[in-house]
Every structure is written in C-alpha cells, then in structure tokens.
Structure 1
Amino acid sequence: METKNEILNNNSNNLSSTKYRNRNLWSGFLFGIGFVAFFDETIFHQLLHWHHFYDKSTTNIGLVSDGLFHAFSWFATIGGLFMFADLRRRNTLWLTRWWGGILLGGGAFQLYDGTIQHKLLRIHQIRYVENVFVYDLIWNILAIIMIIIGLCLVVLSRNRQHSGRTLT
C-alpha cells in the first residue's frame, strides 16, 4: 500500500508532467507563430515586395505596418526560445512535442493569415495578380499540412508519455 507521501508525490509528478508537457507545446507554438510570421515578412514583404502587412493605405503606412509585424514576429520567436531554454535547463524538453507545437503554431498563423487577413478582412493579398486563387490555394494547403503534421507529432508525444517510454 502506498503511503500518503507517495500518493502526494505521484500527484505532484503528474501535475509537473502536465505543466511541462503544456510548456513544451506552447513554447513550440509561440516559436512557430514567430518563425512563420518572420519568414512571411522577410520573404513576401521585403524581398519579393508582393505586399505589405496593411495595404489599404499609403506605401509609408504599409512600411510602418511591416515594421510592427516584424517586431511582433521577433517577440513571439524570442519568447518561444526563452521558454525552450528554460525547458532545456530543467531537463524537461520533449522535442517531438515541441516540434509539433512549432508546426501547429506556424500552420495556425498561416491559415489565419490566408483566410482572415487575406479574404475576410482583405488587409492584403498574397500577391496582386490576376489569378490570386492559385497562390491562396497553395498558401492554405501548406498551412493545413503543417497543422496535420503538428497534430500527429503532439499525439505521438502524448502516446509516448502515457506508455512510459522516454520522451524525445
């Protein structure tokens, strides 16, 4: 029979395990949002000049909106990396779950961008061309693929934890 202290320790370990499981997911999610936003802003806004974050005003306003968007992406990326460093320091990093979080965060951001910002709010398009449908389709399909792979990794990491296997 277990003593009261053993039961409390087991409950404490379960709560701690849940806490770090969630931190791994949120660290990856935040990093994924920041990384995809940074990639979007760098490639499509700065290098290719396809659009600005906000295209319903002047070019100057578009550039300011790009700067704010860039700052947001860096804050999200750095925040996710600080959480990552803390998980490593505590020896509670579960890479499979963290990568799942990255793909979920990046895919969720990209799907939000492609549906809400591009189509619903119309604050910008991916590219201003005659047949933007192809660009929208590729953008959103890639987002869905990222979300599906991310979900698979998160479920895989959860199954590994419940089966008692080593988490990687």
Structure 2
Amino acid sequence: MDTEGSNRYNYLSRNVWSGLLFGLGLVAFIDETIFHQLLHWHHFYDKSTTDIGLVSDGLFHAFSWLATIGGLFLFADLRRRNGLWLKRWWGGVLFGTGTFQLYDGTVQHKLMGLHQIRYVDNVYIYDWIWNIIAALMLITGIILIIQTKKRKDD
C-alpha cells in the first residue's frame, strides 16, 4: 500500500469528478475572461442585442464559478480523507477542459450557432486551432485517467 494518498483507490471517481468540475469551471472562466471580456470577440449568446449577450455572459460566468467551487470542495474533501491522487485529478481537469472546449467549438459554435470564436472571414482557422487544442487536452486527460485506474491486484 502506498503511503501518499493511502485511500486514493477508494476515491477514484471522486478524484475524476473533482478535476472535471474544476476543469470545466477553469476553462469556462478563461474563455469568458479572455474572449468575452478582454478581446471582445464574442458573447455567450450573440443572436440578440449586446445587452442580452452581456446577460448571457453573466450566467456563463456564474456557471464557471459554481463548477470551480464545486470541484475545489471535492478537492478539499479528498485531501481531508487522504484520498487525493494528483495525477488522476489532473486527468479529470484535462478531461473537463477538453470536453468543454470541444463541446463549445462543435455544438455551440457550429451546430447551434450561438456564437463564433471570432467574427472574421477565415473563422475556420480559429475553429481548427480551438478544436485541436480541445482534443489534445481531452486525449491527455483520458490517458492520465486510464493510467491511474484501479489495478487488478488491489
């Protein structure tokens, strides 16, 4: 039995869920802060007035903080129970960030048309970069989660 995180095999899914929630909240916060507020590239919902776009950004921001705080509460609980497995947690973080970004880039940008990354003629360059980064984060997260699954001899 390992001395660091002796309960980590008892909390495999909680490590992933904590990281996933934190990752969702983190990437949503970064997206909203950089692309919505600082660069003014888009709002969460761009099919109406600027005022509606700002309200949608506020709701999006609230979601990001709820997910982040939820993930951090689970993180603190894992530490308290001596069940934190940082490698698995980071796998959850990358899984969450990649999932959110890929969903945003495919479903919200293309299928639903809620907004684009940026309103320019060659938006597909931005789409490819956005979705490739998302896929890399998602794949890396999955690899880390698989590497830390419960062993057969445990």
TM-score range, shorter chain: over 0.9
Q: Is 2:123 the counterpart of 1:132? A: yes
Q: Within 5 Å, which residues of 2 pair with 1:76-91?
A: 76-91=67-82
| Alignment partners' CA distance in 2, 1:163 and 1:39 | 39
2:59 to 60, 68, 71: 68
- In structure 1, runs of 5+ residues without a counterpart are 1-15
2:19 to 28, 34, 39: 28
Cα shift at 1:155: 1.1
- In structure 2, runs of 5+ residues without a counterpart are 1-6
Q: Within 5 Å, which residues of 2 pair with 1:87-126?
A: 87-126=78-117
- TM superposition score normalised by structure 1: 0.85
Cα shift at 1:19: 5.2
Residue-pair matches, total: 148
Q: Secondary structure at the residue paired with 2:109?
A: helix
Give deviations 1:55-84, integer Å, cap 9, x for gaps: 000000000000000000000000000000
Q: CA RMSD in A?
A: 1.6
Task: Tell me which protein shows more helix as a share of its residues.
Answer: 1
If asked which structure has higher relative contact order (CA below 8 Å, sep 6+), I would say 2
- TM superposition score normalised by structure 2: 0.92
Q: Is 2:129 the counterpart of 1:141? A: no
Q: Secondary structure at the residue paired with 2:148?
A: helix
Q: Which residue of 1 aligns with 2:40?
A: 49
Runs (4+) of structure 1 moved beyond 3 Å? 16-19
Identical-residue share of aligned pairs (%):
70
| Alignment partners' CA distance in 2, 1:112 and 1:64 | 21
